[in-house]
Every structure is written in C-alpha cells, then in structure tokens.
Structure 1
Amino acid sequence: MIAVRHRGLITLSIMAATIMQVLDTTIANVALPSMTGDLGASQDTINWVLTSYIVASAIVTPMTGWLADRLGKRELFLISIVGFVATSMACGMAWSLPSMVAFRLLQGVFGAAIVPLSQTFLLDINPREKAGQAMAMWGAGIMVGPIIGPTLGGWLTESYNWRWVFLINLPVGALALLGCLAYLPKLPRKRRSFDMIGFALLSLAIGSLQLMLDRGGEVDWFAAMETWIYLLVSISGFWMFCVHILTREHPFLDPQMFRDRNFRIGLVFIFVVGIILLASLALLPPMLSRILGYPVITTGVVMAPRGVGTMISMLIVGRLVRVVDPRALVLAGLTLTALSLYEMTGFTPQMDSWPIIRSGVVQGLGLGLVFVPLSTIAFATLEPRFRADATSLFSLVRNIGSSIGISIVTAAMTRNVQINHAELGAFIHPYNPLLAQANPAAITADPAALQMLDGLVNLQAAMISYIDDFQLMMWVTLCAMPLALILRRPARR
C-alpha cells in the first residue's frame, strides 16, 4: 500500500477519468446513423468508427505495464487523460470518415491505459482490508458506464448533435485532470527492456481477432476468405506469442503471473462477465425498438434500472466482501444473473415494460455481486510487481469477452431469424383451419392480408431468436458457476 493524503479526492478523480473512457465504448453506437450523412459514409463503412477504437484500444492495452514502468504510473495516467480529451474534441470536429477513423484510432490508443491504471492505483492506495470497497467503486464505473452510454448518447444526439457525444468528454476530462494533477502521488520509475517481438506477436493476434469479430457479420462469417485469414493470423500470433514468452529471458508479459491460481480463474470469470454484460446490452435496445416499438429515450429509461441494480449491489458488496467468503458472493451473483436471463426467456411482444425492468434490476444485482469480489480475489494473492501487467490483461480479457459475446449473439440472432421464419411460414397454407378462422382473406391470397401475415411471422421469428440468445447466455452463466469453487480464499488479516 502507498501512503497518500486525500484518498477520497484521488478516487473521485480516477473514477471520473475511468467513466469517461468506458462510456465511449457504447455512447457512439446510437449516433452512427446521424454520422453517416454528415461524414459522407455508407452504412457499411460507418462501422469503422467503432472498429477503429476497439482495435486500437485492444492492441495498446497490454503495453500499460511497460509504459507505466518507463514513464511512471502518474505520468502515463495524466498523458492518457490529456490525449483522450484532445482526441475526443478532434472526433467532435471531424469533417470526413477518414478523419473520424484516424481520430478514433488515436482515442483508443490514449484511452487504453486509463482503465487498468485506475484499478492499479485503487489497489495501491488502499489497504488490503479496504480493497473490496475500492473495487466496488471501480466496478461501478466499469459496469454502469456501458449501460448508461446508449441512453446518454441517444439524448445528446436527439437534443443537440452527434458531435456532443464526443465533446461531452471535455468537462469531465478537465475535472479528472485537475484532480489527478493535484493529488495523485508520484511513484518511482523502473528500467525495463521492451520486448518488441512479443508485443508485435500479441498485437497481431489481438488485432486480427478483433477485426474478425467486427467484420465477420458483414462478410457472412466463415463463408468469406477474409474471416479465415483473420482467424489463422490470430491463432498463429497467439501460439507464437506463448512460445516466445516461455523461452525469452525478459518477455513482454511475465508468465510467472499465471502461476497464481486466483488470477488464472479470475481471467476466465471476467471473460464470462464480459460476454454477459455487453451481449445483453447489444440485444435489448434493438429488441425494444423492433419488437415493442420503443423510441430511443424510452429504451434508455427502461434499461436504466439495470444500472441502479448494479450500483446498489456494489455499494452493499463492497462491505460484505470483508466478512463474507468472496466465493459465496460470486456464486450468489451468478445465480441471480442466471435467474434474470431465465426470466428474459419468457419475454413476449405483448408484454409491458415491467418484466424488462424487473429482470434488468436482478441482472444488475447479480453482475455487481460477481464483479467486485472477483476483482478483489483475482489480485489478492498476486505479487504487487505484476499488478500493472495483470490489470491490463484483466481489462483486455474483459474486452475480448465482450467482443466475442456480441459477435456470437448477433450471428446466432441472424441465423435463427431465418430458421424461425421458415418454420413458422410452413404453417401458412390454405389447408390450415386456424389460418382460415383467424384471417379468411389470406386463404384467397389477398396481397394486403399476406403482407400483414409476413409482418407477424417476421416479428415472432425475431422474438424467438432473442429468446434463444437469452437462453444461450443463461447456459454460459450456469457453466461458469463451478469455477467459483476452484478460487482460493485469500488469507485474513
């Protein structure tokens, strides 16, 4: 632990920067349609606004430990905040798609170190018995940020302009910078050689994986040679990187950190949490808009209680983690998450907003119960010298889990809609007595009646596909529960 004054002000400043960075992973999604016309982009190319940020952030995140040692943690954090705010302003003033993609790349580069460094600082400045409360506050920003991002982005886009989605970072970043300049402690630097080969191999693997996940849906996944190239390059890069770090004297990531069992299991858990958190967030807004006809603002209001549940859970679990076995809290959180997903499998096009709010609150409570003890126990037995590299890897695995989860549920959604449409459409024929009773005009091949039936079939096929995705995530959650029993409870002080 590092002895500091004004621990509360340091925490507020760090969390302001963290929330600012995390918000940008989802806040721009709803503004893409508005950007398309202003930037002269097409529906396909505008997605590079999201892809460029994700890929750049994923590649630079593993460098956080090395940069923190060479530049200093405080200095790197301040540079990251200044660079992120500056590139956010540049994104808000972008004049074309190439300029926007370039600024988003730089935004991802500068923002990559903010989340892992914020976690490192909170672990450094708090005693071990208060690590749970520190991780509760950090987790609240990490998990609530993506939830409120689409709501805030939709409101800014409709009320003002899509450019304010990026310009909103200026006041938040300025406050975070001033607080960190005034109170963040200066720590000694370390001389550490840079493993260029290891970094290049890991960057190649991560970049190819992210491109495959982001581009797969546009090119029909493995029906396109492009996807296979990304997959082969990613597998080859990861394999060569693993061989490299095991045989090099001073590798880019020290493999000794993986000897800690809690850290290894923690990486698996945070991967699962990433899948559940952002995959469900990727499914619900289009479902509420397409099936229930909710406008953007109403969708945000209905989904907001999910964030409230997460906040309540983290406020409670921050204190419980000191007296209750963290493994029990993780199991309880996974159970609540699975129950919420089970309830979501009962959604119907005729329901009101109450089932969405109720399941969202329960899921928020469950994810909060998982995230805080997991973030605490994963680093409880890890040597402090590995902390910067470990937190960057923790954030990277969470982001990869989110990307994979979104890609899986989106691909499953597209495939299942076609299958369900074909199966439901097979029942529409002149010899079906129920069809003749419900809509006699359809038997006579009336165009208006057939068009209405096709719309109903599309609606029901989409609803069944959403339910299939919720069920898939429920089984992923249940399969992760036995891993909690493998975690080792840290020794009490």
Structure 2
Amino acid sequence: MSESATLLDLSLTRRILILASVVLGSTLYATTLLVASTLLPQMQGTMAATADEIAWTTTFNILATAIVTPMTGYLVTRFGRRRVMLVCVSGFTLATWLCGQADSLETVVLWRILQGGIGAPVIPLANAIVLDSFPRRQAGLVSSIFGMTVVLGPAIGPVFGGMLAEAYNWRWAFYMIVPAGVLAAVALRLTLPADRPGIRIPLDWTGFLALATAIACVQLVLSRGQRLDWYDSPEIILETCLAVLAFYVFLAHSLTTARPFLNLGLLLNRDYALGMVLVFIYGMVNFTPIVLLPSLLQQHAGYPDSIIGVIVGYRGIGGIIGFASTLLIGRWDPRLGMGIGFGLLVVSGLWLASLDLNVGVEVLLLNAVLQGVAVGIIWVPLTVMTFRSLESRHMAEAMALFHLLRNIGSSLFISLSVAEIIQATTMNYSRMTELVTPYNRVLTTPGLMGGWTIETLPGLAALSREINRQAAMIGYVNAFGMYTLASAAAILLVLLARRRPRPA
C-alpha cells in the first residue's frame, strides 16, 4: 500500500489534525525567513560586528536552506515522511533556541546555518503531505489553508519579532518560536501515520554536490554582489564561473546516469514545467515589496518602525482575504484565478510606482492589503495546476524543486531591485547636483526655494539631503516598475496552462 493511500485511508478527523500539525510546523519555519532582517541592527551591536559580518547570519541561512531543499525527495524515500518531518521540526526548534542563546558572531552564524538546513524540508514536505492527505477534488481547499503559511509567515514574523526586540531584546524574537515548535513536534508525532520501510537507495553524490555548489554560488552572488560592486569583484566573477560549471556538470550527469539525484523527467509534464516558471515569478514578486518598502519609508519618508510594522501586518490581512476568496475561485478554471491574482499585482505595482515621499499611511495600508489579496489568490490555483497531473510518488521531490525555485526567484529579484535602487540613486543624484550652481536663477529666486538655500553650508547640506531623497525615490519607482513588468509577464504565461487536467 502506498503512503498516500495510507493517508487517505485515515479518518477525516485524523486528516484534519494532520493538516493543523503540518501547517503549524511550516508556519513557524516561514516566520523565520525574514524575521532576522529586523534584528540585524540589535544583533550587530551585541556582537560588536560590522554590517558585512552580521549579514552572514542571513546569507548562510539562505545558503543552507537552498542546498538542503532539493534533498527532500531523497530523504523521504530513504527515511519516510513522518521521520523526516519530526526530525526537521524538532531540529529547527532546537536550532532556533540556540540562536537566541548565541553569545558570539561565530555561534549565531553556526546556529543559523543549522536552522536553515535542518528546517529546509519542512515546507515542501508539509505541502506534499497536505495534498496527499485529502482527495484531489479538495486540493484547492487544503492548498488555500496551507498557502497561508507561505504568505502570512514572512509577513507576521518581522512584526512580532520587531515588537519583542523593541520591548526586550533580539533574542526573544527567536524564543517566541520555541514553545510553538515543541507543540508542533508533539502534534506531528501523534497525528502522522507510521512510515512504511524506507528504500535503501544510494545518494547520487555527483549530482547532489554539483547542484549544491551551483546553488551556493548563485546565492553568494545574489547576497554579496551589491556590497562587492558585482562583476568588478574577482570573488563575484569566480562564483559565477563556478555556478555555471557546476550546473553544467549537474545537467550532464543527470541526463546520462541511471539514478540521478533529481528526476529531470518531471519537467516533461507540461503542467509541472509551466508551474515551475510561474512559481519562480511568484517568488520574485511575493517578498519584494516587504523588503523594499520598510527601507524606503524609514530612511526617506520618515516613518517610525511601529507604523512600518503595521503596514507589513496589513499585507497579512489581505492574504487572509485572498485565501478565503479561493474557496470560490478554486471552483473555476485555474487560469482565471492566476490571471486575477497577477492582474492585481500589476495594479499594486503601478500604484506603488505612482507614489511620492509624501504618501499617507492609509494609501500604504490599502496597497498592502491589495498585495496580500493578490498573492493569496494566486497560490491555490498555481499549486493545483502544477501538481494536478503528477503521481503521488513524485510529490515530495517535485514539491522540493517547486519551493526551491520560489526561494531563488525571491533572492534574485530582491538583489536586482536593490542594485537598481542604488544605481539609480547615484546616477540621479549626480545629475541633479549638476544644477546646483550660483548661475541657476531658480536657486537664487526668493520664495521658490522654501527652506533650502545655497548661500550657507547648512543650507547646502539640507539641499543635498533632499536631492538624495528624491534621487532614491526614482530608484524605488524603477524597482516597482520591474515588479509590475514581472507580474504582467506572468499573466501571458498563465494563458499557456491547460484548461482541464489530464488523468494522473
């Protein structure tokens, strides 16, 4: 009897408890994805580290997650879903507690690596368990419930983490996860059915090491490229060359060996291949506003951290509305649901690109809700369309690749957006300051310059700050334009999806 058949043979109550357990575990892991970004200033002061050094706590966590995620399929085949899920949630909870206990930069980086690596299989495996625990006709409903973890976790993590860090210190942002992690591990132990005997298959070390090297190099390029001035740095050039070479080795080996680390034959399934492209774009546009808006509002618009946290939190409210909407939209053609969701993202991107530095809170709150509704609506039809014609035995491996591409898309687009902001700020600041001369009549006309003047050093300094703010705003507008174009491109790809599923 297959493992999926075992899950379907359980009572409805047992399956609902399994759903609640895996949703809790995956939500906790998703919460930590962005929570560390709000803690970096406090952690930097505690560890007496430079900005570049403290950034390794995030960089290595992302690296460990990206490297281990593709191993989900192998681990499930070798050890079973229940055992892997229990070990990952328990290990992740322990690593999170150790992060709060860390007293040096080296130890916090080490525990962040463990946290990302051992917890990496949680989300793809939880997603696979959810889909296999219920009949395919209920895939939309359970995907909607599970999808909240993907959207709400990163949205609520920085909010509650920032509040605890402000009230106590950064360690409590990690401690808040531990009790819920223990509860999730106990619930999984009690609800998940026993595993069938694992299959002792050898690990394809060549494929695994080649893919791990390629992913690690790509993530290093994306994480460190901006600080090292991209391809003016020998390190970035070396990492790019290694990534290309390692990925070529992985492809050549996977296409010629009998038992590859990852089954690339899954990409011959049209629904799955298209879903991989769409989830890559979904990853690009999902987290980008969460990362860009706080820096814009704090550094250039003068918003306090508390208000920024509320704005991010409203995106979670929109996500709940979006997922609730899928209870109706899920009955429709998946193309229609994805088209509506990406269309709303286009609207939100155009709206963001039209803002200026005098934007009011109510506008930002409404836009955040719109973003949340959009990503909530997209997730369910995207998941259903991608996996509707795959066999259950491929689910864990296919789901691991699905979430890996989502994470890589996020890292790539955030790096490109930040690079565009910095480049546009520098270029536009240089161009605008060329006009600040005594020969510019506008600058010497009484009544036109307001509180700025070029006749005193304090006046010049104030004018320089204002020019920098406006130059930065141009960079953010460009980044939001890229966000809009990516969302619009996804709408065109949605049209390639099949209307009805083929039999599995």
Name the SS of the counterpart of 2:51 in structure 1.
Answer: coil
How much has 1:428 moved relative to structure 2?
2.0
* Corresponding position: 1:433 with 2:410: no
How much has 1:319 moved relative to structure 2?
3.9
**Separation in structure 2 between the aligned mates of residue 18 and residue 448 of structure 1, nearest angstrom:** 52
Out of 215, 218, 231, the position equivalent to 1:209 is 218
Moved more, 437-446 or 221-230: 437-446
**Residues 280-332 of structure 1: CA deviation (Å, up to 9, x unaligned):** 111011111012212212101122221111111111213421x2000011111
Out of 3, 16, 23, the position equivalent to 2:9 is 3
* Corresponding position: 1:245 with 2:254: yes
**Separation in structure 1 between the aligned mates of residue 80 and residue 378 of structure 2, nearest angstrom:** 31
Out of 435, 447, 454, the position equivalent to 2:464 is 454
**Separation in structure 1 between the aligned mates of residue 28 and residue 449 of structure 2, nearest angstrom:** 53
RMSD: 1.5
**Separation in structure 2 between the aligned mates of residue 420 and residue 473 of structure 1, nearest angstrom:** 21
Out of 334, 339, 355, the position equivalent to 1:331 is 339
Moved more, 422-431 or 193-202: 422-431
Moved more, 201-210 or 352-361: 352-361
For 1:459, the aligned partner's letter is R
**Residues 434-484 of structure 1: CA deviation (Å, up to 9, x unaligned):** 222223997763112111111110111111111111011101111221111
Name the SS of the counterpart of 1:293 in structure 2.
Answer: coil
How much has 1:15 moved relative to structure 2?
0.8
Question: 1:148-187 counterparts in 2 under 5 A?
Answer: 148-187=156-195
**Separation in structure 2 between the aligned mates of residue 227 and residue 56 of structure 1, nearest angstrom:** 19
**Separation in structure 2 between the aligned mates of residue 40 and residue 427 of structure 1, nearest angstrom:** 41
Aligned counterpart, 1:469 = 479
Question: 1:300-311 counterparts in 2 under 5 A?
Answer: 300-311=309-320
Contact kept in structure 1, 2:454 and 2:460, CA below 8 Å: no
Aligned counterpart, 2:101 = 93
For 1:251, the aligned partner's letter is P
**Residues 77-98 of structure 1: CA deviation (Å, up to 9, x unaligned):** 0000110011111111001111
For 1:154, the aligned partner's letter is G
For 1:419, the aligned partner's letter is M
For 1:51, the aligned partner's letter is T
Aligned counterpart, 1:371 = 379
**Separation in structure 1 between the aligned mates of residue 499 and residue 186 of structure 2, nearest angstrom:** 38
Aligned counterpart, 1:404 = 412
**Residues 202-235 of structure 1: CA deviation (Å, up to 9, x unaligned):** 0010011111111111111111010011111111
Tell me the TM-score normalized by structure 1.
Answer: 0.97
Aligned counterpart, 1:54 = 62
* Corresponding position: 1:106 with 2:114: yes
Contact kept in structure 1, 2:452 and 2:462, CA below 8 Å: no
Out of 123, 138, 151, the position equivalent to 1:130 is 138
How much has 1:45 moved relative to structure 2?
0.3
Question: 1:6-405 counterparts in 2 under 5 A?
Answer: 6-188=14-196, 189-321=198-330, 323-405=331-413
**Separation in structure 2 between the aligned mates of residue 171 and residue 440 of structure 1, nearest angstrom:** 55
Structure 2: stretches of 5+ with no match in the other structure: none
For 2:391, the aligned partner's letter is E
Aligned counterpart, 2:489 = 479
Contact kept in structure 1, 2:253 and 2:260, CA below 8 Å: yes
How much has 1:256 moved relative to structure 2?
1.6
**Separation in structure 1 between the aligned mates of residue 140 and residue 32 of structure 2, nearest angstrom:** 26
Contact kept in structure 2, 1:19 and 1:142, CA below 8 Å: yes
How much has 1:269 moved relative to structure 2?
0.7
Runs of 4+ residues deviating >4 angstroms? 440-444
Structure 1: stretches of 5+ with no match in the other structure: none
**Residues 16-45 of structure 1: CA deviation (Å, up to 9, x unaligned):** 110110111101111111111222321110
For 2:432, the aligned partner's letter is L
Out of 484, 498, 504, the position equivalent to 1:488 is 498
**Separation in structure 2 between the aligned mates of residue 318 and residue 208 of structure 1, nearest angstrom:** 41
**Separation in structure 1 between the aligned mates of residue 111 and residue 176 of structure 2, nearest angstrom:** 16
**Residues 251-283 of structure 1: CA deviation (Å, up to 9, x unaligned):** 101122111111111111111111111121110
**Separation in structure 1 between the aligned mates of residue 195 and residue 105 of structure 2, nearest angstrom:** 40
For 1:260, the aligned partner's letter is N
How much has 1:432 moved relative to structure 2?
2.5
Contact kept in structure 1, 2:144 and 2:380, CA below 8 Å: yes
**Separation in structure 2 between the aligned mates of residue 360 and residue 297 of structure 1, nearest angstrom:** 15
Count of paired positions: 492
How much has 1:384 moved relative to structure 2?
1.7
Contact kept in structure 1, 2:389 and 2:502, CA below 8 Å: no
- Give the fraction of aligned pairs with identical amino acids, expressed as a percent: 34
**Residues 411-446 of structure 1: CA deviation (Å, up to 9, x unaligned):** 111101001111222222223332222239977631
**Separation in structure 1 between the aligned mates of residue 303 and residue 219 of structure 2, nearest angstrom:** 31
Name the SS of the counterpart of 1:487 in structure 2.
Answer: coil
Name the SS of the counterpart of 2:200 in structure 1.
Answer: coil
**Separation in structure 2 between the aligned mates of residue 440 and residue 185 of structure 1, nearest angstrom:** 71
**Separation in structure 2 between the aligned mates of residue 222 and residue 487 of structure 1, nearest angstrom:** 37
